[in-house]
Amino acid sequence: MNPEHIAIMWFRKDLRLTDNPALVEAAAKGRVLPVFVLDDDSPGKNQYGSASRWWLHHSLEELNKQLNGQLHIYKGDAKHIIPNLAGSFANCSVHWNRSYEPWRIQRDKTIKALLAEKNIDSNSFNGSLLWEPWETLKRDGTPYKVFTPFYRNACSSAIQPRTPVKKPKLKLEDSPHNSLDISALNLLPKIPWDAQFKTHWQPGEAGARKRTKVFIKSGIKDYKEGRNFPDKKNVSYLSPHLHWGELSPHQIWHDIQALAAGENEDCFKSELGWREFSHALLYYFPTITHNNLQSKFDAFPWKNNARLLKAWQEGKTGYPIVDAGMRELWQTGYMHNRVRMITGSFLVKNLLIHWHYGAKWFWDCLLDADLANNSASWQWIAGCGADAAPYFRIFNPVTQGQKFDSDGAYTRRFVPELANLPDKLLFSPWLAPDSTLQAAGVELGVNYPNPIVDIKTSRVEALDAFQSIRR
């Protein structure tokens, strides 16, 4: 009599039970052994950042509850742990959903080969993208480098995203190897800088569905226009849930598809398309994590001033909309997308600091830190990536604040020391008369910094630097 088949379900960035293709297949094979491995050995410099680790801790706790406390936790090199675990069973298979970071692709190939040597079947699935990167190529078989034709041609001509699959019935198996408690992964910070995260977020599949319902009920309306204003509730706040796979893109795509078609729904779907575009870029150009996609930028004369970088990181640049964004990031693990563009432009163009430093800071501070999105977006704002914003497109932090936070509600929330300034001076406090500053309780250089660079002069320097590499 053959021993009962054990199907190892290797959870990665798919921390959900619903619409999980690998889990469905594992459940169909036999008794399921749910496993998570914290692999800090394989990613090299791409280990999870501090904010990501906070989210992961709480998401694993939620997944473990869903699995009645039977999620088996390990820490170490997955190339050793997964094959060794699978080899403990006489009749076993291993299942996972694919990831597209270069280090994961290489590691997973190695694991598949090691399992094959043991005559153990391994099966991987698409649980993270609407379309696989190889499904969105040009007719000549090359990848797109511009988003609009990618989305209009490749995505629209591809097969429609599959219908989400239901949560399977599971017969769970115990592990023959001692597993860890989630707390033993030491994902939470020793210093409680994350104290405010819990007031903003609910990691886990239930939190993802709750956030989706709120967005569909009240956020999608006026999304196309409202998403540009950081104080409006028109953004979905789904990016951390999508990154960790607590919600699949297929689920939210079909939720939006079920609504009456309109410009807001189409606009949101195109934002999902940008996520697909970023992952396709990373898949076909894996060095975009550290190399300029446009090589002419290799000669760009960056200044990389440590003092200015620190002021930017701490939200003490003297430009209120920039400081508001950087403080939102630190306090909530998130930053509104419009403000991400403003703060990114300020770093690379007004401060002439390499986009690497911005990407590294966001990687550590963002709860939705995603290697594909982070790399592609920073290259976009720096002007050196695919479909990049023209280098001469330099966001003016004063006019951006005036246009997208005209009543100052967002800026005053995160830069409260300027709360009593009148709207017309909120984004340029250095222009305020002494009497106005005094009445507002603002003392420039004491309780709020003077601008660390002149916006006009720094713009000219940036354009001169760009001309130097063109020559």
φ, ψ of residue 207 in degrees (nearest 5): -65, -35
The CA distance from 268 to 274, in Å, is: 10
Residue 96 near residue 22, CB atoms below 8 Å: yes
State the chain's maximal CA–CA distance in angstroms: 90
Across 279-425, the runs of DSSP E, i.e. the strands, are: none
Q: Would residue 443 show up in a list of annotated catalytic residues for this protein?
A: no
The CA distance from 418 to 436, in Å, is: 11
Active-site hit among 46, 153, 228, 337: 337
Q: Report DSSP state, residue 298.
A: G
Active-site hit among 271, 305, 417, 420: 271
Active-site hit among 54, 355, 363, 380: 355
Residue 280 near residue 150, CB atoms below 8 Å: yes
Within a 10 A sphere around the Cβ of 26, how many other Cβ atoms?
28
Residue 35 neighbours by CB under 8 Å, 6+ apart: 8, 9, 10, 11, 71, 72, 73, 74, 82, 85, 175
Question: How big is the chain, counted in residues?
Answer: 471
Question: Of the candidates 359, 371, 354, 335, which has an alpha carbon nearest to the alpha carbon of residue 47?
Answer: 371
Q: Would residue 10 show up in a list of annotated catalytic residues for this protein?
A: no
The CA distance from 292 to 298, in Å, is: 7
Return the structure tokens found at 203. Answer: 């990691």
Residue with the two structure tokens 């420039």: 444
Instruction: Report how far apart, in Å, the C-alpha atoms of 149 and of each of 107, 128, 275, 276, 320 are.
Output: 32, 22, 15, 13, 36
Long-range own/partner contacts, residues 185-190 (CB < 8 A, 24 or more apart)? 185/38, 185/57, 185/60, 185/73, 185/75, 187/38, 187/53, 187/54, 187/56, 187/57, 188/53, 188/54, 188/57, 189/50, 189/53, 189/54
Q: Would residue 337 show up in a list of annotated catalytic residues for this protein?
A: yes
Burial of 294 (0-12, 13-18, 19+ CB in 10 A): middle
The CA distance from 208 to 15, in Å, is: 11
Active-site hit among 103, 193, 274, 430: 274
Active-site hit among 201, 330, 378, 380: 378
Q: Would residue 271 show up in a list of annotated catalytic residues for this protein?
A: yes
Active-site hit among 46, 123, 153, 302: 302
Q: Would residue 355 show up in a list of annotated catalytic residues for this protein?
A: yes
C-alpha angle 338/343/348, rounded to 5°? 125
H and E: helices and strands count for the chain: 22, 5
Q: Residue 316 in 3-state DSSP?
A: coil
Indicate which residues carry an active-site annotation: 271, 274, 302, 337, 355, 378
